[in-house]
Amino acid sequence: MIRDYNLRKRVMVTGGAGFLGSHLIDRLLERGDEVLCVDNFFTGAKDNIQHQLANPHFEVIRHDINNPLFVEVDEIYNLACPASPIHYQHDPVQTTKTSVHGSINMLGLAKRVGAKIFQASTSEVYGDPDVHPQTEDYWGNVNPIGPRSCYDEGKRCAETLFFDYHRQHRLRIKVARIFNTYGPRMHPADGRVVSNFIMQALRNEPITLYGDGLQTRSFCYVDDLVSGFIALMDSADEVTGPINLGNPGEFTIRELAEKVVTLTDSKSELVFKPLPQDDPKQRRPDIGRAQSQLGWQPSVPLEEGLKRTIDYFRTFA
């Protein structure tokens, strides 16, 4: 429970130096919370939180959540886990451990101190879906032994743990299933489609598409997603999720590439390579639950979000 003698809420963000975590921290500090950033800096970057280091209500701990952590907090946002295929496949065993052992440690902390806890789950729990768009009631079509399984199945197991802690220990939980998100502070070499296309276009290099480029994705700008995080965390205790957070606007990968080329005034040409194993053909969220239970929906159009993201990436090109 929040202490009566401190008006500021104490919020911990694991993975706080990452792309999503750093934007979330900015928003929490802006609204007046005390924020503890926990990160082992495997994929997170100090540059993402540098501008907050002088803030007296901000603190950073270098820590891997695979090890227990003993702190006093009111809320926990558990965002710690590599999220791009290049990073989570670098050490797949560690990726699974972060989702499973890390979740157990954070759930144990939440149980000890009575904190409310948020899990950053993923649309990858749906795998290569047979249902389109994906609703939260869909159980997914996931390969349990493929190269993406460390992330997909790790996140599925984390959801299991969260709901078992909720049922067994009455823990207050919030589970968000995050769809493709983009924006400033993405790692320029994280291997995800938006960052790949923008960097290749800015350098006038060939833009790499896999398969025929007709597979679809939905892209949510980071500011919209963070608003969804906070709306879910602040919702009534009975709203546990899982709740899809993403933009239901659907584009083919080829359409995205062509839009990036136009916005960057690039001379890049499109090149096609074989589709990686287990790469989903369609990915689009049904956000009806987020709209009805949180009053949330994204508002930043893809073109506007891409312009902001391109401006950020120009410094790396």
Which are the catalytic amino acids? 151
Angle between helices 92-113 and 149-169 (to 10 degrees): 20
Burial degree of 101 (CB within 10 A; 0-12, 13-18, 19+): middle
- Torsion region of 68: left, alpha or beta (phi above 0 gives left; psi -120 to 50 gives alpha): beta
∠ CA 237-241-242, nearest 5°, is 160
Residues 150 and 96: beta-carbon distance below 8 Å: yes
Are 167 and 156 spatial neighbours (Cβ–Cβ below 8 Å)? no
Check residue 268 and report its DSSP letter.
-
- Report CA-CA distances (Å) from 280 to 38, 107, 133, 244: 31, 30, 13, 17
One-character DSSP codes across 198-267: HHHHHTTPPEEEETTS--EEE-EEHHHHHHHHHHHHTS-TT----EEES---EEEHHHHHHHHHHHHT--
Q: How far apart are CA 245 and CA 263, in angstroms?
A: 26
Whole-angstrom Cα distance, residue 65 to residue 105?
A: 7
Residue type, 38: V
Which amino acid belongs to residue 244? N
Q: What is the DSSP letter of 126?
A: G
Query: What is the rounded distance in angstroms from the CA atom of residue 207 to the CA atom of residue 74?
Result: 45
Q: How many of the other CB atoms lie within 10 Å of CB of 200?
A: 22
